Amino acid sequence: MLYIVFRFLCKLKSYCHNKRYPEGSIVEGYLAEECMTFCSRYLEDVETRMSRPNRNARLTNHNLAKTYLFRSYGQLIGKVKIAHLDDKSWVQAHQYVLLHHDSIEPLRNDYKQVLRSRSRSRRLQHRDIHKLFVESFHEWLGQTAWSGKDINDEVRWLSLGPNRVVKIYIAFLINGFKFHTKYRERLRRTRNCQIVFNSSITSYTSARDSNPVEGNVEYYGLLMDIIELDYYSKRKVILFRFDWVYVNTAREIKKDQFSFTMMNFSRLIHIGQELIDEPYVFSSEVKQFFYSKDPTDEGWYVVLYNTPRDLFGMGNGSRDDIDERSETLSFPEKT
pLDDT single digits (tens) 162-190? 999 999 999 998 888 889 998 888 888 87
Cα(106)–Cα(112) distance, integer angstroms: 10
The amino acid sitting at 316 is N
Please tell me the predicted confidence (pLDDT) of residue 330. Answer: 47
Q: What is the mean pLDDT of residues 43-56?
A: 72
Please tell me the predicted confidence (pLDDT) of residue 307. Answer: 79
Angle, in degrees to the nearest 10, between helices 87-98 and 126-144: 90
Q: What is the mean pLDDT of residues 281-298?
A: 87
Distances (CA, A) of 316 to 166, 285, 310, 325: 40, 21, 17, 11
Comparison of pLDDT for 74 and 50, the residue scoring more: 74
Please tell me the predicted confidence (pLDDT) of residue 198. Answer: 79
The predicted model scores a pTM of 0.75
Cα(89)–Cα(225) distance, integer angstroms: 12
**Of 234, 253, 60, residue with least CA distance to 154:** 234
Phi-psi region of 199 (alpha: psi -120 to 50; beta: other; left: phi over 0): beta
Whether the per-residue pLDDT at 99 is higher than 60: the answer is yes
Comparison of pLDDT for 316 and 71, the residue scoring more: 71
Whether the per-residue pLDDT at 291 is higher than 90: the answer is no
Q: What is the mean pLDDT of residues 129-148?
A: 87
Cα(200)–Cα(216) distance, integer angstroms: 4
pLDDT, the chain, mean? 81
Please tell me the predicted confidence (pLDDT) of residue 281. Answer: 92
Please tell me the predicted confidence (pLDDT) of residue 86. Answer: 92
Structure confidence by residue, pLDDT tens digits, 246-265: 777 767 788 888 888 888 88
Q: Which residues pair with 228 in a beta bridge?
A: 167, 238
Query: How many CB atoms sit inside 10 A of residue 222's CB?
Result: 17
224 burial type by CB count under 10 A (0-12 exposed, 13-18 middle, 19+ buried): middle
Comparison of pLDDT for 329 and 37, the residue scoring more: 37
Please tell me the predicted confidence (pLDDT) of residue 310. Answer: 61
Whether the per-residue pLDDT at 83 is higher than 50: the answer is yes
Structure confidence by residue, pLDDT tens digits, 292-320: 888 888 888 888 888 776 665 555 555 56
Please tell me the predicted confidence (pLDDT) of residue 335. Answer: 46
Please report which confidence band the pLDDT of residue 334 belongs to, taking 50, 70 and 90 as the band edges: very low
Cα(96)–Cα(281) distance, integer angstroms: 7
